[in-house]
Chains A and B, each alone.
Chain A
Amino acid sequence: MLPYWTPVALSRDLAPLVVMPVVVDGAELALWRSASGRIAAWADRCPHRGMRLSHGFVRGEALSCIYHGWSYAQSGQCQRIPAHPDLEPPEAIRVPVHRAMESGGVIWVALAEPAALPPALAGLVPLRSVTLDAPFDPAAAGLAESGGAWRGTLAGVAVAVLVQPLPENRCVLHVLADGAATPAALVDASRGVETLRRQAEEALA
């Protein structure tokens, strides 16, 4: 298990009540945000029947499985089994919970105690997350490592790229851009990200 923070999503893309599947170090996780804004990263599996919790739904501060509605509190502890409304769920019914934090408009997850904090990303705004069916080649994209991120320009806009590796040589790029750029320039930068992906995938083909 990797003892550092892996970027898994842009904060903006995980609105309250949203749950999404993410992969960290090969582990499949359900990432979700409660009504009050708290984030959590859990094993993506309901202990009852193995259903993916990333298909579930958030009510208030709890995540429920879509299959039978079993709901889990922030601690991962099952708090309610709708088939037995009067039953206090046993403590053994618990979803494994992982470390998750937000910093610089990015959500980070660590499977083991991280040695360092995520990189500082001052002056940047979240642009978008894209999945590549290819490995990321920063040199081909004209980006260089600086302060924990790959930095450079895309379509003339200063960007920082964070890499989330996926199995089978795929990856997610979480791209942040110059906070002073105009919306039109950010649209160009977004198209620059598309070009970067196309080139990476064509290089692989």
Chain B
Amino acid sequence: MILYDYVLSPDCYKIRLLAALTGAKLTLRAVDFHPGGEHRSPAFLAINPAGTIPVMQDASLTLTDSAAILTYVAARSGPAWLGDDTPEMRARVALWLAFAQRLSASIGKARTHDMLQKPADIVACRKAGVQCLREIEAALVERHLMGDAFLAGNRPTLADIACFPHSMLAPDGGISVDAYPAIRLWTRAIRALPGFVEMPGIHRLHDLKPEPAGVQA
């Protein structure tokens, strides 16, 4: 599985994260998104005419959408992440995979605007980003009340992987995450999963590692 990848892209990171959690082997092809704009080059447009990342190629298959790539990696390497336990869970996974596009269009754009000077209607992006975070927070509160700790049910699925990165990276685009206690606990639970990997802007949980020997805590 070849992933056309950019280290600072939350949508690319989702794929790397799922691969790390499922043990899938990825071959990474770094795309000079910034500053080079390689995603608009003729060679890249020949692979993905939309000029977006991530892109996955595996044998004859080319996937240009992060939800589709997540689904493919899970189906190949970790089918439990598809969340097929019940019709409800399956539907919620589909819901949050679609919802993640709203996160990319709001928080994602605010972030590339604030960080990399890409054009965006920053006020509108931030407003839409706050709305997205409020909806995730409300959904997590409801799942907790029904006894579940994750977006689609009682265990992590693609729904969580799809929405986790932008929920953590919102401050990069000037959107505070201080006001969302359920999101805070949920993102901690994801960061504590065995095999979790970070990306710039998402620090690992240093509390999972003991203080170095020889000191009293």
List A residues at the B interface (Cβ < 8 Å): 9-10, 13, 15, 17-18, 20-21, 55, 57-62, 64, 66, 69, 71, 79-80, 82, 85, 127-131, 172, 183, 186-187, 190-191, 194
Nearest-neighbour CB distance to chain B for A149, whole angstroms, equals: 19
- Contact at A57–B207, with CB atoms within 8 Å? yes
A80 CA / B210 CA spacing, docked (Å): 14
**Contacts A66-B206, A172-B179 known; A128 to B141 CB distance under 8 Å?**
yes
- Contact at A187–B145, with CB atoms within 8 Å? yes
- Contact at A18–B206, with CB atoms within 8 Å? no
Nearest residue in A to B204 (C-beta to C-beta)?
A: A57
B side interface size, CB within 8 A: 25
- Contact at B146–A128, with CB atoms within 8 Å? no
Nearest residue in A to B205 (C-beta to C-beta)?
A: A57
| B85 lies within 8 A of chain A by Cβ | no
- Contact at A183–B207, with CB atoms within 8 Å? no
Residues from chain A with a CB closer than 8 A to the CB of B178 are: 20-21, 131
Q: Which of B182, B203, B205, B216 contacts A13 (CB 8 A)?
A: B182
23 contacting pairs across A/B (C-beta < 8 A): A13-B185, A17-B207, A18-B184, A20-B178, A20-B181, A21-B178, A57-B205, A57-B207, A59-B206, A60-B217, A61-B217, A62-B211, A80-B215, A85-B214, A128-B141, A183-B145, A183-B147, A187-B142, A187-B145, A190-B145, A191-B138, A194-B134, A194-B138
Nearest-neighbour CB distance to chain A for B151, whole angstroms, equals: 15
Residues from chain B with a CB closer than 8 A to the CB of A129 are: 181
| B25 lies within 8 A of chain A by Cβ | no
Nearest-neighbour CB distance to chain A for B136, whole angstroms, equals: 13
Most buried by A among B145, B179, B205: B145
Nearest-neighbour CB distance to chain B for A9, whole angstroms, equals: 7
Residues from chain A with a CB closer than 8 A to the CB of B216 are: 79
Known: A57-B205, A59-B207. 11 other contacts (CB 8 A): A59-B217, A61-B217, A62-B217, A80-B215, A82-B212, A128-B141, A128-B182, A172-B179, A186-B145, A190-B138, A191-B138
A131 CA / B133 CA spacing, docked (Å): 12
List B residues at the A interface (Cβ < 8 Å): 134, 138, 141-142, 145-147, 178-179, 181-182, 184-185, 188, 203, 205-207, 210-212, 214-217
Most buried by B among A21, A71, A190: A190
- Contact at B217–A10, with CB atoms within 8 Å? no
- Contact at A131–B217, with CB atoms within 8 Å? no
Residues from chain B with a CB closer than 8 A to the CB of A17 are: 207
Nearest-neighbour CB distance to chain A for B192, whole angstroms, equals: 10
Residues from chain A with a CB closer than 8 A to the CB of B214 are: 85
A20 CA / B179 CA spacing, docked (Å): 10
A18 CA / B187 CA spacing, docked (Å): 11
Q: Which of B134, B138, B142, B206 contacts A64 (CB 8 A)?
A: B206
- Contact at A60–B181, with CB atoms within 8 Å? no
A21 CA / B142 CA spacing, docked (Å): 23
- Contact at B207–A58, with CB atoms within 8 Å? yes
- Contact at A183–B146, with CB atoms within 8 Å? yes
Nearest-neighbour CB distance to chain B for A196, whole angstroms, equals: 13
Nearest-neighbour CB distance to chain B for A169, whole angstroms, equals: 15
- Contact at A190–B205, with CB atoms within 8 Å? no
- Contact at A190–B206, with CB atoms within 8 Å? no
